[in-house]
C-alpha cells in the first residue's frame, strides 16, 4: 500500500480535526493534501503520542489525530503506555510502518526485526489496535475510529515512497506554527484558549 493513496482515501474525514504530524515523509504528503493551520508538524521524534494525548484530554469532545511513523513511535513507548492508562476516547493514532527511517538514510527500524506495534499497543492497554495493509482496509479502520470510542491505534503497512517521488519538506517556523495552530483551535472552539501574560494583567485592573 502506498502511504499517499492511504492518506488520500481519508483526508476528507479530517476537515476540522486537529492533526499532529511527526517528522517523516507523511509530513509533506499530508500538508499537500490538507494544507492549513490545523496541522501541527512535530520535529521531535516520538512526541506524537504525548502531545496528541494532551490535546485529547484537554478537548475530550473533539477528535484528535496523530500521524506517526514506525521509527518515531518507538522513541516514546511511555507515550503509548500513558495513552493506555488514560484511555482518551477521542484519540486517533495512525502509524505508517515502512520498516525504515525513510527521511534519514533508510536505516531499518525495530519493526523490520522483532517488534509488533499492534501487540505493543495492545499490551499498553489500547484495545482498539489494528494493522491494515490495503487502502480499503485503512479507510475502513479510520472511518471506524470516527464511529466508536477509542483510543484508536492504526498501523498501516506501507511502501517506502522514496525521496524522488515524495514532496519536499516545507520550511517550518515552530513559533509561528504554534500560534497558528492555537488560532485554529480557538476558531473551532469559539473561545479563547491562550492569553498573553501582559494582556491578562491589564485586563484585571
Q: Residue 23: its pLDDT value, please?
A: 80
**Residue whose grid cell is 499498553:** 124
Banded pLDDT at 46 (limits 50, 70, 90): confident
By C-alpha distance, which of 53, 89, 55, 57 is closest to 73?
53
Residues forming beta bridges with residue 22, ordered by sequence position: 42
User: How many domains are contained in the chain?
Assistant: 1
Q: Residue 11: its pLDDT value, please?
A: 97
What is this structure's pTM?
Answer: 0.89
Cβ count within 10 A of residue 190: 6
Domain span including residue 11? 3-203
Cβ count within 10 A of residue 199: 8
Banded pLDDT at 44 (limits 50, 70, 90): confident
**Between 203 and 35, the higher pLDDT residue:** 35
Q: Using one digit for the tens of pLDDT, what is the confidence trace for 9-28?
A: 999 999 999 999 998 788 88
Q: Residue 162: its pLDDT value, please?
A: 62
pLDDT > 90 in the chain, percent:
69
Q: Using one digit for the tens of pLDDT, what is the confidence trace for 115-137?
A: 999 999 999 999 999 999 999 99
CATH number, domain containing residue 127 = 3.40.50.970
Amino acid at each position: 500500500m502506498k502511504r499517499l493513496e492511504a492518506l488520500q482515501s481519508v483526508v476528507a474525514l479530517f476537515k476540522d480535526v486537529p492533526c499532529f504530524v511527526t517528522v517523516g515523509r507523511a509530513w509533506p504528503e499530508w500538508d499537500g493534501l490538507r494544507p492549513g493551520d490545523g496541522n501541527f508538524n512535530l520535529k521531535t521524534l516520538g512526541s506524537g503520542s504525548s502531545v496528541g494525548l494532551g490535546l485529547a484530554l484537554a478537548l475530550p469532545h473533539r477528535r484528535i489525530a496523530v500521524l506517526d511513523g514506525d521509527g518515531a513511535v518507538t522513541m516514546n513507548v511511555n507515550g503509548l503506555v500513558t495513552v493506555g492508562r488514560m484511555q482518551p476516547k477521542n484519540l486517533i493514532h495512525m502509524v505508517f510502518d515502512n520498516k525504515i527511517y525513510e527521511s534519514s538514510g533508510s536505516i531499518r527500524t525495530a519493526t523490520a526485526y522483532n517488534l509488533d506495534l499492534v501487540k505493543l499497543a495492545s499490551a499498553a492497554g489500547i484495545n482498539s489496535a489494528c494493522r491494515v495493509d490495503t487502502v480499503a482496509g485503512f479507510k475502513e479502520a479510520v472511518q471506524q475510529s470516527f464511529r466508536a470510542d477509542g483510543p484508536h491505534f492504526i498501523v498501516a503497512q506501507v511502501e517506502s515512497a522514496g525521496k524522488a517521488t515524495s514532496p519536499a519538506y516545507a520550511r517550518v517556523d515552530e513559533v509561528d506554527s504554534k500560534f497558528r495552530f492555537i488560532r485554529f483551535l480557538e476558531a473551532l472552539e469559539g473561545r479563547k484558549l491562550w492569553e498573553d501574560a501582559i494582556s491578562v494583567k491589564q485586563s484585571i485592573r
